[in-house]
Structure 1
């Protein structure tokens, strides 16, 4: 009888731990999402890249991080990097899941974007294994007036891969990739997509105050839509993060806001900003599931001391511009 009771206690504790691993409004930063086999996977900033899974985009289970130890190349490439990986980007391209990720230290542009691929996102699958391909794009102080973080892969109408990325300095960049999406195409082809005037420039290695980052490009109707985050993240209750958007008939721009102002000149139509409930909102991505468009982003929760939380909202459209109808 005692043994049976003890076993029941153990089983009960295991069940409670399993239930505790399922959460709503999960604590994430810089989230992206994808679906495989009826399961949604969120990848986010964190040690080794944070991963969560869900069958309904409401209740989430914490999964193992992508990397159990920091990539060796990254530790050597970026002084001060210790395994906290920023702003991943997930997509399915050429038969593999492509996960781009950012290696940096706060406010510096000695940064790099790496790439890992996998056949599946299901950790229980025999084919589950992340293969790291090392750096794709690197920025170096004194050489580059841009920052190699916040990647976003986009495929054009000719199945040509491009990578948008960047923050602060002189803005959001785009570069053409080789067909395998693992290297910059040669000869190199670069564009500036958006920027904010810097009234107080930093040094060659610090950001100054041109607060723009986190590009995400989404194709809809006859346009490419460039979403970006403006002002300041990562300050909890003092965060001023907000999302703006522009659109272009061509992938490489120019991207204009509703008033026709180029995003390279500080333009960008406001999509969402903080309020009394959320101190700041940003670093968004856009996806379509079952014919419905969703905006996924993080916000600094005013009811939880400004901690960063996941938000998923349905994205609607009026006059070919994205709008949110929040409850």
Structure 2
């Protein structure tokens, strides 16, 4: 329910009215300073084998940014020159949303969603590349789909390898975050595979989406975006996290509250000019886990921008943002 063209996001942000206060008390670190092209939405970032970094995002034909040092970011066009024709089965403009980038089996894999606002007639597609750079992607078609008869929404993909198998977390509103096993050769869902449920909210409209799953120590950690995005400075997005000893759950927060009952420790929320952080992903860089997300800049008419923070871990194994 959240994604639409970046132009629409910027227009909405530009006309939004700043709230009377800057938001919650400053209890979270600011994102690390970056320069260059900072505008982004739903970022997925990776440190390339060839050196440097690439980020893909909602907007354009999967918008791309590149960096040599993770500080200066440059516009690098789009993953694809034109939308694959099948995208138009899901929206009239062929817009993709919320990509996920990973490296596996000697090549880069880019997953993304195509859908329309407010419907779960949706599809997650997959493309592969030898370099991970824009203009080198070969689309492989649909990896997983949902229809209006399903209880889930096939958007916001996030890949993880666990227990020798390949899995994809996904979901937005409807019944929340789901998980399905993929064929590691094709990168597509195994026909007839069970669709597990990982997280939801007890109250309509079940506002949880944008999942990312990370293995750390003995646990799998489920990060998700709660509440409303895409409203500029009026966005209420925030990132919560729970964990499980099994990839399929059950996930719970540090108090033991299940994420299937709305649980989740608050990891990052509005503070100062940094409004509505979410759309998160995590990548490894120089032995550290780095959280990538967008926030709406309260000092720049709510423009969505790239946030990067290192994750650290407490003694009892919970992530904290540095």
Partner of residue 84, structure 1 = 95
Q: CA deviation at 1:108?
A: 1.5
CA distance in 2, matches of 1:66, 1:259: 41
Q: 1:41 aligns with which of 54, 73, 78?
A: 54
Aligned length: 287
Q: How does 1:63-78 map to 2 (within 5 A)?
A: 63-75=76-88, 77-78=89-90
| Separation of aligned partners in 1, 2:158 and 2:35 | 27
Name which of 257, 260, 265 aligns with 1:264: 260
Alignment partners' CA distance in 1, 2:195 and 2:301: 41
**Cα offset, 1:130, TM superposition:** 1.3
Q: Deviations over 1:216-253 (max 9, x none)?
A: 00111111100000000000011000000000111111
* Structure 1 residue 293 displacement after superposition: 1.6
- Which position in structure 2 is the counterpart of 1:130? 137
- Please report the TM-score for the alignment, with normalisation by the length of structure 2: 0.86
1:147-204 residue CA offsets vs partner (Å, 9 max, x unmatched): 110000111131x1111100101110101111324322144122000001234xxxxx
Q: Is 1:299 the counterpart of 2:295 in the alignment?
A: yes
| Structure 1 residues 81 and 148: CA distance shift in structure 2, 3 A | farther
Structure of higher CA gyration radius: 1
| 1:179 paired residue number | 184
Matches of 1:302 and 1:181, distance apart in 2: 43
State which of 236, 253, 264 in structure 2 corresponds to 1:240. 236
The SS at the match of 1:185 is coil
SS in 1 for 2:220: strand
* Equivalent residue runs for 1:244-255 within 5 Å: 244-255=240-251
Kindly indicate whether the alpha-carbon contact (under 8 Å) linking 1:25 and 1:311 is maintained by their aligned counterparts in 2. Answer: no
Give SS of 2:87's match. Answer: helix
Unaligned runs of 5+ in 1: 1-21, 200-208
Aligned 8 A contact 1:81 1:103 in 2: no
Q: Match of 1:117?
A: 128
What is the aligned partner in structure 1 of residue 29 from structure 2? none
- State which of 225, 229, 234 in structure 2 corresponds to 1:229: 225
Runs of 4+ in structure 1 displaced over 2 angstroms? 22-25
Contact 2:126 2:187 in 1 (8 A): yes
* Residue aligning to 2:174: 169
* Residue of structure 1 in register with 2:161 after alignment: 155
The one of the two structures with greater contact order (alpha-carbon pairs below 8 A, sep at least 6) is: 2
> 1:25, CA displacement in angstroms?
6.1
Give per-residue Cα distances to partners, 1:107-142, cap 9 Å, x unaligned. Answer: 22111100010111246xxxx63111111111111x
Unpaired stretches in structure 2, ≥5 consecutive residues: 1-33
Superposed CA RMSD in Å reads 1.5
CA deviation string 1:51-82 (max 9, x = no partner): 1110111101111201221110111x21x331
Is the 2:281–2:293 contact (alpha carbons within 8 Å) kept by the matching residues of 1? yes
